[in-house]
Amino acid sequence: MSQLSKEWDGLRAGRLSRLSRIPAVVLIYTLALLFSYWLAFQLRFDFGRLLTDTERDFMWKPAFWMIPLKLAFLLVIGQFAGLLSYFSVPDLRRLFGALALASAVAGVIWWETAGAAAPPRTVILADFMLSFLFISAARLFCRLVREQVFHSAGSLAKVRPLRVGVIGAGYAGATLARELDVKKHLGLRCVAFFDDNPQKWGSSVHGIRVLGAPEVLLENKKLRLDKVIIAMPSAAGRRVREIVALLQQAKIRFETVPTIDQLATGRVKVSELRPVEIEDLLGRDPVRLETEEIRAILRGQVVMVTGAGGSIGSELCRQIASFSPARLLLIEQSEVQMFQIEQELIGLGYGHLIAPLVADVYDLPRMQGIFDRFQPQVVFHAAAHKHVPMMEAQPVEAIKNNVLATAQLGKLAVDYGVDRFVLISTDKAINPTNVMGATKRFAEIYLQSLHATAGGRTKIMAVRFGNVLGSSGSVIPTFHKQIAAGGPVKVTHPDVTRYFMTIAEAVGLVLQSASQGQGGEIFVLDMGKPVRIVDLARQMIELHGLKPGVDIDIEFIGLRPGEKLFEELSHQSENCIPTSHPKIMRFVSQPPPFADISNHLIHMAQEIHHLEADHLKLLLKKGVPEYQPFLRPEDVVRPLPNPSPTPTYIATA
């Protein structure tokens, strides 16, 4: 009871505090409206010289209903509830609307009474403009007092603010400069802008000069900049790399603003600076998505995402939720990851859409129950084991999760009449040399064959892409830990390359592919140019302010079992067909007969718990002939044991 009493006292105190502010607001607004009304009359009648005695006596009578009318409209739009010192563009729009409506009512009264009960039209118009001007000025003055006086009083006023240069004189840079001017407690003062656009050179942004291109920093040593902030959230990674190299050469500390995705969603503000990450250097030009096509397949549909707590699955959930599905089913085996994505989606305002379901996709009865209860119409299958070295040592788990569970889920999708089924695959499935890639390729083959057998009732497709920046278990977090520990940074081979793209870009293109798919295709995303991992390691070391080979060593440890020097884009048996999107390619091939692939799947399901790792690899190779497994020498020619009679469920037509 004491806790409830405290909460009630807090609510009552807050309500009383708001009520205590209202008389002051009403007083300020009333004085501003009275002065506006008086001044409008004076301007109309040359400060009283043109007023007759009758007009002078009539002047104040309409004020008895016009002032309360305006106050009533201001009350309706909530101008009395807000703090006077917090005034922004939305408040300005609401203020304009309220005063315009009040003046319109006054104009109607003038028309209906032929001017007998309302002031002249010119006075009504002048009064509207002056009222808007004076109230806006009063609110703006209160805001300036708060920002410049009270805010500064609590800041580190005696500490000299750091002189900051901002690269990027666009919207992000201008917003940043304004926030730094307001938030003096940050201890940063923008003194110069730099921009690639020559048309901006020599101009000013918020009174701060645009001195030229960022290269000016190497020539002008008189600026005495303490720090440079890169305010180019949508810039290509290539340009960011050039600017970072330039700043490192000039020996100037630098930071950057949040990414364009973070700014667009409102999750962070432009003044929340952070160090430049390797993701910024590898970023690519923003991808144009045909959002209406994506919305057409998701809006009002029940959408299922497996592996919803993973790197790809969680981003799928974020983007899908923005397209207003009827229901978003989150399938995740890890309750910790499920809790994180559930809370994030609730925080983003999607709590009414989601249904978090802790489940293992290999658990057939559980998945049957989910399909039976929710009747999903679109399925994105992102649940998988993806760690290459770990799955190389434990092929049984890779086969169970990446092959058998996918086969069961695909068959359930067909049985329950799902409209679209999208498998999240990998470029490692192309001419695979490791278990993870081979299991993904087997899953692709099975689903293509299933689609051909099902007669197109369910559009089944797969989407391949390379490494995603910042995903769990990827090379970038590993390098961060090695650098933080003082090195060495371990790279498998000096010539090894990989494709990289951002998680948001990959998922956006997955959704675009899903909207274009007719079934039976494998979509491959344009992943740009491959990146040498040793170059990636050097850049990450330099971003930490260290020198490769001096402060942090790079050690080559050799390729691990199943690893390639480089990844490929397509198998030789696949035919490339262009799509309407420049970043998406479509590959089609003739799948094997469903009976053959299904029988092999049944055999594999029976043997996974009875065979050694290398024998499972050889069994997997029978379903994926192009697979080149890494085997121990003594097992290369050893025959497979006789199959076990143990029955195991597997999806068949």
Contact 510, 350 (CB under 8 A): no
Is 428 assigned a catalytic role? yes
- CA dist 350 and 611 (Å) reads 46
Contact 277, 500 (CB under 8 A): no
Question: Rounded to whole angstroms, what are the CA distances from 554 to 294, 481, 488, 489?
Answer: 44, 14, 5, 5
Buried b (16+ CB within 10 A) or exposed e, 10-37: eeeeeeeeeeeeeeebeebbeebbeebb
Enter the DSSP assignment of 627.
-
Q: Residue 127: which H helix or E strand, with range? A: helix 121-145
- CA dist 499 and 567 (Å) reads 8
Buried b (16+ CB within 10 A) or exposed e, 537-566: bbbbbbbeeeebeeebebeeeeeeebbbee
Residue 243: both structure tokens together: 């600017």
DSSP reduced 3-state for 21: helix
The greatest distance separating any two alpha carbons of the chain, rounded to the nearest whole angstrom, comes to 118
- CA dist 165 and 194 (Å) reads 7
- CA dist 531 and 497 (Å) reads 5
Taken as a whole, the chain contains a residue count of 653
Among 569, 565, 608, CA closest to 433: 565
Helix residue ranges per DSSP H, 235-363: 237-250, 260-265, 278-282, 291-298, 311-321, 335-347
Options 428, 459, 583, 617, the catalytic residue = 428
Q: Is the dihedral of CA 337, 343, 344, 349 positive or negative?
A: positive
Q: What is the DSSP string of 458-526?
A: SEEEEEE--EETT-TTSHHHHHHHHHHTT-PEEES-TT-EE-EE-HHHHHHHHHHHHHH--SS-EEEE-
DSSP reduced 3-state for 330: strand
Q: What is the DSSP string of 23-84?
A: HHHHHHHHHHHHHHHHHHHHHHTTTTTT--HHHHHHTTTTHHHHHHHHHHHHHHTTTTTS-T
Pairing status of strand 227-230 against strand 204-205: unpaired
- CA dist 361 and 306 (Å) reads 8
Active-site residue list:
428
